[in-house]
A = this chain, B = another copy of it.
Amino acid sequence: MKVIETVAEMKQARKKLRGTLGFVPTMGYLHEGHLTLVQQALAENKFAAASIFVNPTQFGPKEDFKKYPRDPERDLAMLKGVGTHLIFMPTVEEMYPEGSNSWVDVASVTERLEGAHRPGHFRGVATVVAKLFNIVEPTRSYFGQKDAQQLLVIKKMVADLNMNTEVVAAATVREPDGLAMSSRNTYLNAKERQAAIVLWRALSLSREMYLKGERNADKLRQAMTRLISQEPLAAIDYVSVANTETLQEFSQIEGPALVSMAVRIGNTRLIDNIILGS
């Protein structure tokens, strides 16, 4: 396994690889969800690369950039364990040298949900992913379904800007009780960890209602909202039942629906989603 810290060296290392490359961009503090992505990248390509970079431009000024959990040594050991060939682990200065000021904006689908609650977030995501794609030149790139809107934004960017990588989505990996794996779960204390199950319970409730034939999206949103509100440690940012492509809220569900939510458990903001009718 080769660990690379500069753009120039990463480009050079890429050029030396003859064959397909699967790429998993991460912000580090890895969990099983990330490793599943790397394993899929390894299964579908000759080589696998991952990046570890906590990207400052996708955090708002009041968000958790500084305290975002970091443990590069553990990350590297985990990536080595699954057989990753290349790790790109640049500094902030390497990715954003002084005066750097070009941005990728994916319009429309970024206006809702996470985009509405985190202004500038997806501009930061799209920009850093575009940069990483140019540096790593992956044949295929792997993203978790947990960040559903991010996945949609990146697919849209790749299509609209004619980028040369295939975006592959992988199912959300969950703890045994249903909590979606996330580096931010580490912020939760024991009580909050228990309370955090409410996201999965709400999503499961919407699935049950849907399977019983409910197509009124308001009824789904209301039922989920009621359930979450019963958890004293939980505060809802949004609960959404939307078109999977446009992210427009459904009144009546027609076609596949993205059921998604952002919920604060104490000071920790968690997101999760499922797709109904896919």
- A interface vs B, CB < 8 Å? 7, 11, 99-108, 126-127, 130-131, 134-135, 137, 156-157, 159-164
Cα distance A160–B159 when bound, in Å? Answer: 21
CA distance A164 to B131 in the complex (A): 10
A37 to chain B, nearest CB (A): 22
Q: Are B134 and A164 in contact (CB under 8 A)?
A: yes
Instruction: Offer 28 A-B interface pairs, CB within 8 angstroms, sorted by A.
Output: A7-B162, A11-B162, A11-B164, A99-B108, A100-B160, A101-B107, A101-B108, A102-B104, A102-B106, A102-B107, A102-B157, A102-B160, A102-B161, A103-B104, A103-B105, A103-B106, A104-B104, A104-B105, A104-B161, A105-B105, A127-B161, A130-B161, A131-B161, A131-B162, A134-B162, A134-B163, A135-B162, A137-B164
- Asked if B102 and A126 make an inter-chain contact with CB atoms under 8 angstroms apart, the answer reads yes
A-B pairs, top 3 by smallest CB distance, nearest first, are A102-B160, A101-B107, A134-B162
Q: Which residue of B lies closest to A96 (CB)?
A: B160
Judging by beta carbons under 8 Å apart, are A102 and B164 in contact? no
Among A99, A159, A160, chain B packs the most CB atoms within 10 A around the CB of A160
Query: From residue A242, how far is it (CB to closest CB) to chain B in Å?
Result: 16
A106: chain B residues within 8 A (beta carbon):
101-103
Given contacts A161-B134, A162-B7, A164-B134, contact A102 B101 (CB under 8 A): no
Chain B residues in 8 Å Cβ range of A135: 162
How far is A20 from B180 in the complex, measured between Cα atoms in Å? 47
* A274 to B: closest C-beta gap in Å: 25
List B contacts of A164 (CB < 8 A): 11, 134, 137
Whole-angstrom distance between the Cβ of A255 and the nearest chain B Cβ: 16
Of chain B, the residue at the smallest CB distance from A130 is: B161
**Which B residues are CB-close (under 8 A) to A127?**
161
